[in-house]
Amino acid sequence: MRYRTRFAPSPTGLLHVGNAYSALSCAQWAKQHQAELLLRIEDIDHTRCKAEYADNIIEDLYWLGLRWQAHIRYQSQCSELYQQAISKLRDMQLIYPCFCTRKEIRQEVERIASAPHAEETQLEYPGTCKNRSLVEQTERMQHEGFAWRLNVNKALASVGQPLSWQDESGRKHAVKISHDIVIGRKDITFSYHLAVVIDDASQGITHVIRGDDLKDSTGIHRLLQALLALPEPVYIHHALLCGSDGDRLAKRHGSTTLQGLRQMGVEAQNLRDYLSHSEPLVWPFGVDDEQNILDVLGKTY
Q: What are the CA-CA distances from residue 279 to residues 110, 239, 259, 283 (Å)?
A: 42, 11, 24, 10
Q: Is 200 inside a domain boundary?
A: no
Q: Range of 143's domain?
A: 81-184
The reported pLDDT for the residue numbered 98 is 95
The yes-or-no verdict on residue 117 having pLDDT over 80 is no
- The pLDDT value recorded for residue 289 is 84
Q: What is the mean pLDDT of residues 48-64?
A: 96
Q: Both 174 and 123 in a single domain?
A: yes
**Mean pLDDT estimate for the chain:** 89
Is pTM beyond 0.85? Reply is: yes
H/E element, 106: helix 102-113
Whether residues 26 and 61 fall in one domain: yes
Do 69 and 122 lie in one domain? The reply is: no
* For the chain, percent of residues with pLDDT exceeding 90: 72
Task: Answer yes or no: do 93 and 133 share one domain.
Answer: yes
Q: What pLDDT was estimated at residue 254?
A: 63
Q: What is the CATH number for 285?
A: 3.40.50.620
Query: Residue 5: beta bridge partners?
Result: 37
H or E segment at 210?
strand 207-211
* Average pLDDT score over residue span 163-174: 96
| d(C-alpha 271, C-alpha 279), whole Å | 14
Residue 287: pLDDT band with limits 50, 70, 90:
confident
Q: What is the DSSP string of 107-166?
A: HHHHHHHTSTTGGG---SS--TTTT--HHHHHHHHTTS--EEEE-HHHHHHHH-S--EEE
pLDDT at residue number 158: 96
39 compared with 125, residue with greater pLDDT? 39
Residue type, 16: H
| Residue closest to 16 by CA, chosen among 278, 257, 262 | 257
Distance CA 47, CA 50 (A): 9
The answer to whether position 25 is within a domain reads yes
pLDDT, tens digit, 9 for 90 and up, residues 78-115: 999 999 999 999 999 999 999 988 777 776 555 544 43
Give me the mean pLDDT over the 252-262 stretch.
83
Residue 161 is assigned to a structural domain of this protein: yes
In percent, how much of the chain has pLDDT > 70? 91
Task: Flag whether 130 is in a domain.
Answer: yes
Q: Return d(Cα 230, Cα 224) in angstroms, integer.
A: 8
Looking at the structure, do residues 66 and 90 belong to the same domain, yes or no?
A: no
Q: What is the pLDDT of residue 96?
A: 96
Regarding whether 88 and 152 lie in a shared domain, the answer is yes
Mean pLDDT of 161-184: 94
In a domain, 216, yes or no: no
Q: Verify that 71 and 119 share a domain, yes or no.
A: no
**Domain membership flag for residue 225:** no
Q: How high is the pLDDT of residue 138?
A: 93
Q: What is the pLDDT of residue 116?
A: 37
DSSP string, 216-259: GGHHHHHHHHHHTT----EEEEEPPPEETTSPBP-GGGTPPBHH
- Together in a domain, 22 and 86: no
Averaged pLDDT for residues 170-184: 94
Query: For residue 143, what are the CA distances in angstroms to 146, 275, 294?
Result: 10, 51, 57
What does the pLDDT look like over 185-202, one tens digit per residue? 888 889 999 999 999 999
pLDDT at 301 exceeding the cut of 50: yes
Closest residue by Cα to residue 208 from 191, 228, 227, 232: 232
Degrees, nearest 5: CA angle 270-271-272: 90
Instruction: Look at the chain and report how many structural domains it folds into.
Output: 2
